[in-house]
C-alpha cells in the first residue's frame, strides 16, 4: 500500500503504518488538548496507540490462523479506520474461512479477559459509549475498547470479519460465488447504515462505510473474475497477434512500434524467441524523457515477467496477477519460446465476453418461459 512506512517485521509479515494514521493522532491530540490541556492530549494519544496495538494483535490473529492453512501474509497495514492484513488469498473452504475470520476477534476477547482478570481493570458496558472520556483507568478503557472491537468486527458487513463468517455460512448451501455476491450486497447495505450514523457526528464511521462499500464491491468482482476464468487455460485467452522487439532494439524502435500497433507492452525476445523481458508504455515514455531514444530497451525493460506454459489454468494466472501486481504474464512452449502473453485487460475482456454470453443465455431462457 502506498503512503505507508514499514515499522518492523513479525515472523515474515511486515507491520506498516499509513501516513494518514498520524493525522488521526494529531486530530485526537488536538481535540483532547482543547478539552483538558496537555495532560488530556497525552492521555488521548496513549489510548489511541494502545487501541491500535490491540488492532495489530487482532490482525495477527488472522495472520497466524491463515498460516495454519499454508496462507502467507506479506503485510499488516494500520489505517485510521483500523488494520488491514494482506493475506495472499482467502481459504475457500468455509470452515477454514470461519476459523481465520474469528481468530481476529478472539484475540480481542483474550486481551479484554486478561486486562479485567489480571490487572483488575474495572469495566462495565456503559463505558462503551464514552471510550474517549477519561472517566476510568486506562486499562479499563482499553478493555472496553477491545469488547467494542469484538462487537464491531462481528457485524456481518462483508468483508469485515462477521461478514466473512456470513459468507462462509452462505457458501455451504449456495456456493462460493453466489454467497460472495449476497454477502457483498448485505455488506454494502450495512455500509449505508454506518454512513447514516456517521453523518450524525462520527466522521470515522463515514470513512469505514466507504471502505466497506468499496472493499465489498472489489471482493465480489475478484471472486466473479476467478469464477469466469476457471476452466480455461492460458492458451484460450492469450494474445497471439503481437509484435516483439529484438535484444538489440532501442527505445526509438519501441516508440515506432507503439505508434504502429495498439499494444501497450512489448515483449523483448532473444534470437531463439525466448522472452527476456517486457517493455511497458510507461517505461518507454520515461526512457525517452530521461535517457533518449538511443537507449537500448534491454536496460529499461521489466525483466521480472513471470512465464507460464500454455496449459496453465487461467484462474491461477489471474490470482498470480492479483498477488504480484504484475500486468503481463508470458506464455511459453516446451522449448521456452514465447507463444503469447496475457494482460489484466485481456482477462477483463474474457469476463466481458463470458458475462454477456451468460446474460444472453438467461434472456433466451426467460423468453422461452414467456412463450
61 vs 158: CA distance, rounded Å: 18
Nearer CB in complex with Zn ion: 154/331? 154
325: helix, coil or strand? coil
Cβ atoms of residues 131 and 144 within 8 Å: yes
Nearer CB in complex with Zn ion: 77/263? 77
Q: Does 163 bind Zn ion (CB under 5 A)?
A: no
363 vs 138: CA distance, rounded Å: 61
- For cell 520515461, the residue is 286
C-alpha cell of residue 245: 522487439
114: helix, coil or strand? helix
206 vs 197: CA distance, rounded Å: 8
Least spacing, CB of residue 2 vs Zn ion, in Å: 22
User: Between residue 233 and residue 292, which ones bind Zn ion under the rule CB under 5 A?
Assistant: none
C-alpha cell of residue 242: 503481437
330: helix, coil or strand? strand
Nearer CB in complex with Zn ion: 94/162? 162
Nearer CB in complex with Zn ion: 96/316? 96
- Residue span 49-88 as binding mask against Zn ion, x where in contact by CB under 5 A, dash where not: ----------------------------------------
Least spacing, CB of residue 131 vs Zn ion, in Å: 19
Q: Which residue is nearest to Zn ion (CB)?
A: 104
Nearest to 102, CA basis, from 51, 58, 159, 57: 58
Least spacing, CB of residue 164 vs Zn ion, in Å: 8
Question: From the list 75, 161, 219, 276, which residue makes contact with Zn ion (rule: CB under 5 A)?
Answer: 161
Nearer CB in complex with Zn ion: 161/265? 161
Least spacing, CB of residue 120 vs Zn ion, in Å: 28
Segment contacting Zn ion (CB under 5 A): 96-104, 109-117, 332-340, 357-365?
Answer: 96-104
Beta-carbon-side half-sphere exposure of residue 55 (alpha carbons within 13 Å): 24
Nearest to 279, CA basis, from 322, 243, 313: 243
| CA 145 to the chain's CA centroid | 26
Q: Does 104 bind Zn ion (CB under 5 A)?
A: yes
Nearer CB in complex with Zn ion: 32/164? 164
Segment contacting Zn ion (CB under 5 A): 136-144, 157-165, 170-178, 309-317?
Answer: 157-165
Nearest to 319, CA basis, from 334, 306, 309: 306
Applying CB under 5 A, what is the total number of residues that bind Zn ion? 2
Least spacing, CB of residue 58 vs Zn ion, in Å: 6
Least spacing, CB of residue 104 vs Zn ion, in Å: 3
Torsion of CA 140, 144, 150, 156, to 10 degrees: -170
169 vs 86: CA distance, rounded Å: 22
Strands 4-10 and 13-18: antiparallel
Segment contacting Zn ion (CB under 5 A): 159-167, 175-183, 305-313, 354-362?
Answer: 159-167
Segment contacting Zn ion (CB under 5 A): 63-71, 131-139, 153-161, 178-186?
Answer: 153-161
Q: Does 97 bind Zn ion (CB under 5 A)?
A: no
Cis peptide before 305 (omega within 30 of 0): no
Segment contacting Zn ion (CB under 5 A): 97-105, 124-132, 207-215, 228-236?
Answer: 97-105
Nearer CB in complex with Zn ion: 152/232? 152
Nearer CB in complex with Zn ion: 104/198? 104
Cβ atoms of residues 275 and 316 within 8 Å: no
Instruction: Give me the residues that bind Zn ion (CB under 5 A), please.
Output: 104, 161
Amino acid at each position: 500500500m502506498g503512503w505507508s512506512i514499514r515499522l518492523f517485521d513479525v515472523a515474515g509479515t511486515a507491520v506498516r503504518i499509513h501516513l494518514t494514521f498520524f493525522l488521526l493522532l494529531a486530530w485526537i491530540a488536538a481535540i483532547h488538548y482543547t478539552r483538558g490541556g496537555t495532560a488530556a492530549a497525552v492521555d488521548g494519544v496513549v489510548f489511541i496507540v494502545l487501541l491500535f496495538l490491540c488492532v495489530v494483535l487482532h490482525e495477527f490473529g488472522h495472520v497466524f490462523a491463515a498460516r495454519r492453512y499454508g496462507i502467507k501474509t506479506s503485510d499488516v497495514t494500520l489505517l485510521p479506520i483500523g488494520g488491514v492484513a494482506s493475506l495472499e488469498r482467502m481459504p475457500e473452504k468455509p470452515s477454514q474461512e470461519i476459523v481465520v475470520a474469528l481468530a481476529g476477534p478472539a484475540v480481542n476477547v483474550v486481551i479484554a479477559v486478561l486486562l479485567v482478570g489480571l490487572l483488575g481493570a474495572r469495566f462495565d458496558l456503559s463505558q462503551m459509549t464514552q471510550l474517549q472520556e477519561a472517566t476510568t483507568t486506562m486499562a479499563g478503557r482499553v478493555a472496553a475498547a477491545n469488547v467494542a472491537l469484538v462487537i464491531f468486527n462481528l457485524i456481518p458487513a462483508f468483508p469485515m470479519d462477521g461478514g466473512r463468517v456470513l459468507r462462509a455460512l452462505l457458501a455451504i448451501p449456495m456456493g462460493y460465488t453466489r454467497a460472495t455476491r449476497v454477502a457483498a450486497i448485505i455488506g454494502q447495505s450495512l455500509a449505508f447504515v454506518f454512513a447514516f450514523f456517521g453523518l450524525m457526528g462520527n466522521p470515522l464511521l463515514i470513512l469505514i462505510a466507504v471502505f466497506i462499500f468499496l472493499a465489498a464491491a472489489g471482493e465480489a468482482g475478484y471472486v466473479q473474475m476467478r469464477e469466469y476464468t476457471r476452466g480455461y487455460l492460458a492458451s484460450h485467452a492469450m494474445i497471439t497477434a503481437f509484435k516483439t522487439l529484438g535484444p538489440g532494439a532501442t527505445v526509438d524502435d519501441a516508440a515506432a512500434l507503439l505508434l504502429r500497433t495498439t499494444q501497450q507492452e512489448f515483449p523483448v525476445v532473444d534470437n531463439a524467441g525466448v522472452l527476456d523481458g517486457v517493455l511497458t508504455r510507461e517505461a518507454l515514455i520515461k526512457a525517452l524523457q530521461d535517457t533518449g531514444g538511443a537507449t537500448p530497451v534491454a536496460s529499461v525493460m521489466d525483466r521480472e515477467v513471470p512465464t507460464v506454459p500454455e496449459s496453465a489454468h487461467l484462474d491461477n494466472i489471474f490470482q498470480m496477477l492479483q498477488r504480484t501486481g504484475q500486468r503481463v504474464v508470458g506464455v511459453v512452449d516446451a522449448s521456452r519460446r514465447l507463444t503469447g502473453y496475457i494482460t489484466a485487460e485481456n482477462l477483463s475482456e474474457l469476463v466481458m465476453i463470458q458475462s454477456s454470453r451468460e446474460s444472453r443465455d438467461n434472456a433466451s431462457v426467460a423468453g422461452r418461459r414467456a412463450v
